[in-house]
Amino acid sequence: MGYDAYGLPAEQYAIQTGTHPAVTTEKNINRYREQMDKIGFCYDWDREVRTCEPSYYKWTQWTFLQLFNSFYCNGCQKAQPISKLIARFEEKGTEGLNVAESKPLNFTSDEWKAMSEKQQQEVLMNYRLAYQAEAMVNWCPGLGTVLANDEVADGLSVRGGFPVERKSMKQWQLRITAYADRLLQGLETVAWSESVKDLQRNWIGKSMGASVIFKVEGKDIDLEVFTTRADTLFGTTFMVLAPEHELVKEITTPEQRAEVEEYITRTKNRSERERMAEVRKVSGAFTGAYGINPITGAKLPIWIADYVLMGYGTGAIMAVPAHDSRDFAFARHFNLPIIQVVKKPGTEATDPSTWEESFDAKEGELVNSGFLNGLTVKKAIERMIEELEKLGVGTGKTNYRLRDAIFSRQRYWGEPFPIYYKDGMPYAMDESKLPLELPAISEYKPTETGEPPLARAKNWVTEEGYPIETNTMPGFAGSSGYYFRYEDPHNDKEYFSREANDYWQNVDLYIGGAEHATGHLIYSRFWCKFLYDIGLSCKDEPFQRMINQGMIQGRSSFAYRANMEKLCEYGVWRLIKDNKLGVKFEKDFKDGRRRFDFFCPEKGILIEINRMGNLEKVAEPWQDYAAEKGYKLLLVPIVDVVNDYINGTDKVEQKIKDLVAGKEVPAFVEGEAYKGGRIYVSKNIPDREEFTDKVHVDINMISKPVINGEVCDVLDIEAFRAWRDDLHDAQFIFEKDDEGKDVYVCGMEIEKMSKSKFNVQNPDDLVEKYGADTLRLYEMFLGPLEQSKPWDVQGIEGTFRFVRKFWRLFHNENNEFCVRDEPATPPELKSLHKLIKKEEEGIESISFNTVVSAFMICVNELADLKCDKREVLEPMVIMISPYAPHIAEELWHLMGHETSVVNATFPVYDESKTVENSFNYPISFNGKMRFNMELPVTMSQDEVQAAVLAAPEAAKWIEGKQIRKVIYVPKKIVNIVIG
């Protein structure tokens, strides 16, 4: 058992209460251990590990130092000591260098020797497997830290609902991309499901293609594009950069700067996952710059758009709208040219202006493509790469979607980095200084200047006075190699001994969810391969066989949190949609440098909603634009719209009506920035979906009254407000119950049972009511391990009845223990040995539900036989002990044993005991089954036919009829055809 003990919830609780995360973590571990003991889980507790203990994270820190002091040699396909690279630089510089790097560098040995120590360290950072570099991250100012993708939803932090923005920050990273090919190849050596392998293959995303250089017109700037379709260069009509591309500011013209900056601001808070999901939403901004097609010389307008991601390729694309669906939609939206360059063989090229969708052809014949005309796609790609390399404007290249892993967090509760800074450059601490323990600090939140919490630590410096890194490692640091520490948990001299590793090797069976495929499983495989490279691990794959267990599904409850921007936009939109004011408004009106929330062309009215309280400070650009165009302008603070919505007032509505009527209205209303608590909207409020985000609510706060004839999930408002500090000021928009009282009704869904979804069923309550053995049996009886299964407390009653029926086999009517030593009968032994076989098969195939089912059948059979024989019941106690250990242990001792049942030998299956001596045949006449008849299996067909026809039950069916044919299938059916 291991505890992955670093996490954001513990840190947030520490910030809110001042309680050290170690205190709450220890409390939670003790609680978890108590529950596991109560349920009867058996682990080797001598091997327990906790990622937050210095004796454990010493080796996480040690591994980080090895990564920092290593580079990856592409030639030998393994990690090597950085000292070898330094020796290489001193001898040859970068001549013939073939290693993993952040960017290509070129220098001679003399140039290397002439560099200062700082310059050399900067160069080495380009090659280290653990390195520092700028990276786009999910930055949450409200929490003061970087968040992982799964900690962000709809632009807000999952915990607290704080805004999250995409931001470039210097971060520690692991050069996992160096291992991309080996991570792909290793998948062929492990017994994992193809679905998980495919998830990893797609995540790694190996693509064969070309790197193409486009010059930017009028500037000494090269734009590098990676494409898998070099054959379509003749069809490129524009270029698109990711909004966060480093060259956007440099190439944007002054005329387009305001529009580009506004677009970047609007898109920076959206994650790459959200941007990829919105395939139909087209948006973008023109930079004013043009790229030059290196083959045709054509000028290509350069746009920015959020459908292009920095996480893949170079963050820049050559757009070929005729043959890419997203490029096609973008070109149609912004009226950009479309040129067909691939056609189906035997057809003619057509006018793309008549197309309804792009022709995304991976096979075909080239047209309108100069020297490529008539070639197949495959041949054209090869020919174009040859031409690019000949002209020196491109080269063939293998690209990966996989990005290096961001390995630092601006949190307190995590492993400290064993890194100090000299002259602004990071240096590795000596291994003798490990573990570098977390220091005590006064507060657990970031400093007032935005530095990580560790910056609060006193004397957080080395003995020499050098400052120590203030970021901490992420949660996956400790969980990437825990399985190695199980092998040798008390070794304080090394991570684990080679002797222990040679004995245990890699994990035989890993049971875990498919959701880990693109996170933990990738990181763990990388960690293992690195340790293999440096000679520690005897295997380069950590988990040989893997089974994805199905999710236990629970009933989740949701509150609906108003998204303030959406609420305000909706609050105004509901007034002006459907022409209710007698004039039509446009949404998201954009003209050149400015974008407004609403515009009425007929009346020349502009409306802009803004979060700022003092609008005088931000109003000038809008006012200048309105004056220039001769428009009327209304700037509305968010607080006014929110208050109108909550209180049913019409302050904003009246001002819009006055504008439409031609009355004079001030350009802006001086108000406060919205500072109220989050608004939560009850389930059945009209149009709720327009402006709310779903938030999980702890199911323990829910009651289930009947409202309008329907059982509803009603939220305990006060419990909700007391749940977390960020909810204390929550406001609610209610609905009415049957008595006219205000109630807040939550939504519900069946989804994965998880702590993060607050829909977990407390096992203590079930153990208290039914016993731990019933809980264990029910969980295994729910269905196949790999399938998701809904949790239903009603279903546990049947398992509870089975446990009591099993107990009664060993007791008489007076509930006195009564097991006899008389020999068992053949039917009793037959029932036992069928169970032995079924359990052996079920355990080997990890089909526990079939074993529980077999136990239920066997107990029913033995109850009918009134079996009370030790010869049958004692083996059953041994067999049920892995499933129901508590009742098994009790019965084992009642049978007179002094040692534990877990030390008993598993019963041996005897096939002779299960041989069927007879078969209960269904007897049919003209295909319709009329009765059953038990007959010996040794009877011949003639004997069976004679016995059936002589049976009293057959007389009424054959009386006066002619027997035309008897169909006999041994141990299946007897069918008599009569006429």
Q: Residues 48, 53, 56, CA angle at the centre, nearest 5°?
A: 65
Q: At what angle do helices 772-781 and 885-894 cross, to 10 degrees?
A: 130
Alpha helices, H only, 307-370: 325-334
- For residue 862 the two structure tokens come to 């033995």
| Of 234 and 574, the one with more pLDDT | 234
Under 8 Å between Cβ of 521 and 196: yes
pLDDT range class, residue 612, cuts 50, 70, 90: low
**Confidence at 86, pLDDT banded by 50, 70, 90:** very high
Regarding predicted confidence, which is higher, 9 or 302?
302
Residue 622, pLDDT > 80, answer no
Mean pLDDT of 743-767: 90
**686 contact partners, CB below 8 Å, separation of at least 6:** none
Whole-number Å distance between alpha carbons of 299 and 296: 9
Is it the case that residue 478 has pLDDT exceeding 60?
yes
**678 pLDDT tier (thresholds 50, 70, 90):** confident
Lowest-confidence region among 104-108, 307-311, 535-539, 768-772? 307-311
Mean pLDDT across the chain, nearest whole number? 91
The rounded distance, in Å, linking the Cα atoms of 910 and 970 is 24
Q: Which helix (H) or strand (E) holds 745?
A: strand 745-752
The pLDDT of residue 668? 66
Angle between the 848-864 and 870-880 helix axes, to the nearest 10 degrees? 160
In the predicted model, is pLDDT for residue 513 greater than 90?
A: no
pTM of the model: 0.76
- Phi-psi region at 53: left, alpha or beta (left = phi > 0; alpha = psi -120 to 50): beta
Average pLDDT over residues 32-49: 94
Rounded to a whole number of angstroms, the CA Rg of the chain reads 36
How are beta strands 285-292 and 299-304 bridged, if at all? Answer: antiparallel
- Asked whether residue 31 carries a pLDDT value surpassing 80, the answer given is yes
pLDDT tens-digit map of 699-723: 989 999 999 889 899 999 999 999 9
Kindly state the DSSP code that residue 76 receives in the 8-state scheme: T
Average pLDDT (524-549) is 97
The whole-number pLDDT of residue 595 equals 76
Cα–Cα distance measured from residue 948 to residue 679, given in angstroms and rounded to the nearest whole number: 78
Average pLDDT over residues 614-632: 75
User: Tens digit of pLDDT for each residue in 774-815?
Assistant: 999 999 999 999 888 888 777 899 999 999 999 999 999 999
Q: Which of 37-46, 380-389, 584-593, 798-807 is predicted with the least confidence, judged by mean pLDDT?
A: 584-593
The pLDDT assigned to 276 comes to: 63
| Per-residue pLDDT at 238 exceeds 90 | yes
Q: Which two tokens stand for residue 655?
A: 């001002």
The Cα–Cα gap between 159 and 15 comes to 13
611: confidence class by pLDDT, cuts 50, 70, 90: low
pLDDT tens across 317-328, in order? 999 999 999 999
C-alpha 788/C-alpha 274 separation (Å) is 26
**Which residue would you say has higher pLDDT here, 54 or 161?**
54
Lowest mean pLDDT among 167-181, 217-231, 497-511, 635-649: 635-649
Q: What pLDDT shows up at residue 420?
A: 98
Percent of the chain beyond pLDDT 90?
Answer: 68
Tell me: the pLDDT tens digits for 164-207?
Answer: 887 778 899 999 999 999 999 999 999 999 999 999 999 999 99
In this prediction, residue 370 carries a pLDDT of 96
Please give the Cα distance from 968 to 945 (Å, whole number).
Answer: 8
Q: What confidence tier does 220 reach under pLDDT thresholds 50, 70, 90?
A: very high
Residue 858 makes CB contacts below 8 A (sequence gap 6+) with 831, 832, 834, 835, 876
The model's confidence at residue 371, banded by pLDDT at 50, 70 and 90, is very high
490: its two tokens = 């008390």
811-860 confidence digits (pLDDT tens): 999 999 999 999 999 999 999 999 999 999 999 999 999 999 999 999 99
Residue 675 has pLDDT above 70, yes or no: no
Name the residue with higher pLDDT: 426 or 918: 426
> pLDDT tens for residues 133-176?
988 778 888 777 777 776 777 777 876 778 888 777 889 999 99
Question: What value does the mean pLDDT take over residues 345-350?
Answer: 90
Dihedral class, residue 249 (left if φ above 0, else alpha if ψ from -120 to 50, else beta): alpha
pLDDT bucket at 929, cuts 50 / 70 / 90: very high
Residues 946-961 have a mean pLDDT of: 91
The answer on pLDDT for 514 being more than 90 is: no
Asked if pLDDT for residue 577 goes beyond 80, the answer is no
Is residue 745's pLDDT more than 90? yes
pLDDT at 685: 85
Give pLDDT, residue 280.
60
pLDDT given for residue 570 in this prediction:
81
